[in-house]
Amino acid sequence: MTAAVSDYHSWFSRRALSMPPSPFGQLVPLMRDPEMKVLCQGVPPDSCFPLLSMTCKLLDGSEVVLSEADTRLAQRYPPFACGPLREWLLRHVLQLHSPPLAEWDITIAAGSMSSVDLVCAMLVDPGDVVLIEEYSFLAGIDALRSYGAQLHPLPLDAEGLRPDALERACTELAQRGLRPKMLYTVPVGQNPTGTSMTSQRYAQIYDIARRFNILIVEDDAYFYQQHVQRGAGCSDSSTSAAGIPATSREEMPLPGMSLGPSFLSLDSDGRVLRLDSFSKTLAPGFRLGWATGAKPLIDRYNMLAYASSQNGCSLSMMLLGKMLEAWGDAGFEAHLRKLQSALRSRCDALVAAAE
């Protein structure tokens, strides 16, 4: 069995390997020092920023207030504004997934699609073999193709990606002298089939990835939209919400934050790069998500992000960070339950209409 990953260079693309460390990262501490005058910022003086403070009213009638100091930071570059959101995300990922890897990290992203594009830029050279579900997220497929990936589709069943098909593909490719660069998977609410992996399926696929030394890109935008606990009311091998009578589903507790396993929660090797999104949980207009993985992966991701998206919108980061900070865990879970309840009702109505 392959040991924990110690060298990521064989996974990185030529472009990613050629990127020098960002000088901006070295300048940020100096820019934060009020006694230091940095002449290369290329931004207006703080006194010329147009926004003074902000107050946003939420659906429950409460308010999120950005002080003058917070609003000033929100009009600067993302490293100055991301603090509250980054701290919340670190606690949240630890609570939800408990990554077993010693050195993992998160980075904020300019939406999940930006993450997919940056991951492709970081990992894919023209001609690289990428394993992918036979039906998958169209924009993800387009991104992979745009970087010249040679896509190798794998069949699915009611539990998602089939481990036997994955192992057979890896074996056949190895016999031809080829090693897949990565496996791109949508494990929960698979787009477009809607399947969700079971605990056993996660473990089987992760074990195969270890044996063949494959990186898993876990694109889990629909993770929080689960409105029936995986395995609730049915065997662990049948997680389809539509397969449970609506009268029974109404009596089931909503998942809230009890959302089941992930590849990240199994990743003791450092071979999982997980992508999450606020678009499906809060609102797409924030244009924010986050990526989680081994620190070398996140560091390289940030090097590429510096030369492109800069990790997202500072104003959205500050507003979202302060809102989640004010909500706390209980408030965020209450929001999830409200979302899950609305999705369950819509699912039941759609299934009833189809019948």
Give bridge partners of residue 182 from the DSSP assignment. Answer: 130, 215
Query: Is the separation of the CB atoms in 292 and 274 below 8 Å?
Result: yes
Which tokens is 62 given? 């409460």
For 78, 121, 161, 178, the CA distances from 191, given in Å and listed in that order, are 31, 22, 12, 27
For 5, 93, 119, 148, the CA distances from 124, given in Å and listed in that order, are 18, 27, 8, 7
Residue 297 pLDDT? 97
d(CA 160, CA 335): 28
Contacts of 108 (CB under 8 A, 6+ apart): 78, 82, 85, 86, 89, 288, 289, 290, 311, 312, 317
Residue 256 pLDDT? 84
| DSSP E strand stretches across 245-311 | 272-277, 289-294
Which tokens is 148 given? 């010249």
d(CA 241, CA 288): 28
Q: Which helix (H) or strand (E) holds 161?
A: strand 160-161
Q: Which sequence spans correspond to the domains of the chain?
A: 14-46+57-354
Residue 238 pLDDT? 39
Residue 248 pLDDT? 56
Q: What is the DSSP letter of 22?
A: P
Q: Which helix (H) or strand (E) holds 182?
A: strand 182-185
Residues of the chain with pLDDT under 50: 232-242
Residue 187 pLDDT? 96
Contacts of 205 (CB under 8 A, 6+ apart): 161, 163, 166, 183, 185, 197, 216, 263
d(CA 101, CA 256): 25
Model confidence over 206-260: pLDDT tens digits? 999 999 999 999 999 999 999 887 654 443 433 444 455 555 556 677 888 888 8
d(CA 215, CA 5): 10
Residue 72 pLDDT? 92
- Which residue in the block uniquely carries the two structure tokens 């992918």? 132
- Tell me which fold the domain 14-46+57-354 belongs to: Aspartate Aminotransferase; domain 2 (3.40.640)
Residue 7 pLDDT? 87
d(CA 185, CA 115): 14
Residue 239 pLDDT? 42
